[in-house]
Structure formats: structure tokens, C-alpha cells
């Protein structure tokens, strides 16, 4: 597509259509009975860290240890489980849930390009996922060390705390971007997205054991590179099988992840043009 073709596209119309679809979709993505288990995934660590804050009261450990524990929670829970499965639930249902509720045809009977519809739905899912998981990460980070009182405030506002929190939030948001695009695609391509999701889950968790080249074809590889607090020993008893790879610098990991996500999303959007409405099947 040439620049002159791009500039003659009806961007104004698409912008209005995206806004209209977002209005309808956000209600569904943010507040849905079907998403109860996603609320549990997001609230779980907040409740746990909140309880830690209430009951541990500075006894027997240091704030540095709390930071390391949070880094572990972030890498092992948020990145590998919470955000992964949360995005699976949110993004693979963007089209599937409407097929189950028999309402997808209303969108398909509107004069809107399927690509615009797919991107709008993705954006709605992304806003919901980022709200849930970045919110959960920020609250968990604060609750984890809040009981340190002035020491924590000093660490947060005059030390590296805010910087670390920013990176955690950014990494969580990028995880939503990356996994969101992957699960949007599986939701468009497969009637039952659980099987491809299982394959992606295994692939992502095999990441430490893969050769350096293959490691780069996963979302978790780039996300781990962005985590602000060092290496968490997450390879368990099979750690001796893990291969060492230089982490990707942030200036490469962030655009890399965004570009790969954009490509996957573009493919999903193109595939959505071929979707049919057939509720009886």
C-alpha cells in the first residue's frame, strides 16, 4: 500500500467506528459475570500481599526480601499464570463469546470493515486486561511493602521504588499486548481455543530449556528481560537443563514485542474477514 493510498483511507470514519465499538465492548469486557475467574486471578495477589502487609509487621525479614518475593510473584504468577490465563479468557472470547450468545451477527451486519472490528475488539480487551492486571500489579507492589511505612515511602519516592514499579507496570501491560494478540488470533482461528492455548502455555514454559534462537520466539523471553529485579530461579528441579541466553535490552525487547504483536493482530484481523456466522454448528 502506497502512502497516497494510506492517506485516502477513511480514517475519520474508522475512528468513529472504533469509538462506537469500544463503547459497546468495554461494558462487556470490564463487567461480565462470565469473567468472575479473571477477577479472582487479579484480586488473588492483592489479597495475599494485603494480608502479608497486615500480619507480618516487619518481623524476621527485610524490605529487600519483600522486593525479591514480589519479583518472584511477578515473574512466576503474573507473567506465567495470571496474565497468561487472564488474557486467554478475555481475548479468545472477544469473538467466541458473541457466537455463544448469538449476537455476533449484529456487528457483521454493520458497514464496518472486519479489520476495524477486530482491532476495536482487541483494544477493548486490552483496556480491560491492562486495567485488571496493571492495577493488580501496582496494588500488590504497594501492599507487599506498605507495612514498612516511612522506609517504604523513602524507597518508593526517593529510591528506586517508583522506577521499579513503572517497569513492572510496563511489563505487565506489554504482557497483555503480547498474549492478547496471540489469544485474539487463536479465538479467530479455532472454535475451541483451549487446545492452541495449551500449546502456547507449554511453549512459553519450556522457554528456559530451549536453545537461544528458539527462546526468542516467545513472549515470556522478552518480558523477563524487562523485569526490574534480577534473576528469579524459576526453573525448578530441571534448572540444570536450562540454557543461558543474554537478556534482550529494553530498547530492542519493547519495540520487538510490539511489532510481533502488531503482526499477529494484523493476521487475526485479516482472518476475521473470512469468519462466518453459523450459530447452529
Binding site for another protein (CB under 8 A): 13-14, 16-17, 19-21, 23-24, 27-28, 101-103, 105-114, 273-274, 276-279, 281
The answer to whether 126 and 179 are in contact (CB under 8 A) is: no
Instruction: Determine phi and psi for 166, rounding to 5 degrees.
Output: -60, -45
Task: CB nearer to another protein: give 158 or 274.
Answer: 274
CA-to-CA separations, 147 to 73, 97, 223, 265, in angstroms, rounded: 18, 42, 29, 42
H/E run at residue 271: helix 250-272
Task: CB nearer to another protein: give 142 or 277.
Answer: 277
Cα–Cα distance measured from residue 121 to residue 247, given in angstroms and rounded to the nearest whole number: 33
Give me the least distance between CB of 191 and another protein, in Å please: 14
Give me the least distance between CB of 19 and another protein, in Å please: 8
Give me the least distance between CB of 14 and another protein, in Å please: 8
The answer to whether 115 and 270 are in contact (CB under 8 A) is: yes
The answer to whether 258 and 81 are in contact (CB under 8 A) is: no
Give me the least distance between CB of 92 and another protein, in Å please: 19
Task: CB nearer to another protein: give 216 or 271.
Answer: 271
Cα–Cα distance measured from residue 74 to residue 68, given in angstroms and rounded to the nearest whole number: 10
Task: CB nearer to another protein: give 32 or 131.
Answer: 32
Cα–Cα distance measured from residue 253 to residue 261, given in angstroms and rounded to the nearest whole number: 12
Those residues with Cβ within 8 angstroms of residue 148's Cβ, 6 or more apart along the chain or in another chain: 58, 63, 66, 155
Task: CB nearer to another protein: give 28 or 80.
Answer: 28
Task: CB nearer to another protein: give 115 or 234.
Answer: 115
The answer to whether 42 and 82 are in contact (CB under 8 A) is: yes
Give me the least distance between CB of 35 and another protein, in Å please: 13
DSSP, residue by residue, 189-205: H-SSTHHHHHHHHHHHH
Cα–Cα distance measured from residue 69 to residue 17, given in angstroms and rounded to the nearest whole number: 44
Task: CB nearer to another protein: give 26 or 43.
Answer: 26
Helix (H, G, I), strand (E, B) or coil at 280: coil
Give me the least distance between CB of 112 and another protein, in Å please: 6
Amino acid at each position: 500500500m502506497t502512502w497516497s493510498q494510506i492517506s485516502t483511507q477513511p480514517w475519520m470514519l474508522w475512528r468513529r467506528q472504533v469509538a462506537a465499538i469500544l463503547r459497546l465492548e468495554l461494558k462487556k469486557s470490564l463487567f461480565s459475570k462470565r469473567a468472575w475467574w479473571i477477577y479472582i486471578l487479579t484480586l488473588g495477589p492483592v489479597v495475599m500481599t494485603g494480608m502479608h502487609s497486615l500480619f507480618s509487621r516487619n518481623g524476621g525479614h527485610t524490605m529487600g526480601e519483600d522486593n525479591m518475593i514480589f519479583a518472584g510473584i511477578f515473574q512466576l504468577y503474573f507473567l506465567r499464570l495470571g496474565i497468561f490465563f487472564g488474557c486467554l479468557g478475555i481475548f479468545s472470547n472477544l469473538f467466541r463469546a458473541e457466537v455463544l450468545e448469538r449476537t455476533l451477527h449484529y456487528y457483521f451486519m454493520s458497514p464496518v470493515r472486519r479489520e476495524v472490528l477486530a482491532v476495536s475488539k482487541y483494544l477493548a480487551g486490552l483496556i480491560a486486561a491492562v486495567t485488571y492486571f496493571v492495577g493488580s500489579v501496582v496494588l500488590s507492589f504497594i501492599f507487599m511493602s506498605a507495612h514498612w511505612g516511612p522506609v517504604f515511602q523513602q524507597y518508593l519516592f526517593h529510591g528506586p521504588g517508583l522506577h521499579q514499579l513503572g517497569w513492572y507496570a510496563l511489563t505487565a501491560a506489554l504482557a497483555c499486548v503480547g498474549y492478547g494478540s496471540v489469544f485474539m488470533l487463536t479465538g479467530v482461528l479455532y472454535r475451541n481455543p483451549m487446545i492452541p492455548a495449551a500449546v502456547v502455555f507449554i511453549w512459553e514454559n519450556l522457554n528456559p530449556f530451549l536453545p537461544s534462537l528458539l527462546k526468542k520466539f516467545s513472549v515470556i523471553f522478552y518480558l523477563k528481560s524487562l523485569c526490574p529485579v534480577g534473576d528469579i530461579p524459576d526453573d525448578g528441579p530441571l534448572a540444570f537443563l536450562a540454557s543461558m541466553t543474554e537478556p534482550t535490552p529494553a530498547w530492542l525487547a519493547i519495540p520487538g514485542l510490539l511489532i510481533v504483536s502488531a503482526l499477529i493482530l494484523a493476521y487475526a484481523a485479516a482472518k476475521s474477514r473470512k469468519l462466518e456466522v453459523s450459530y447452529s454448528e
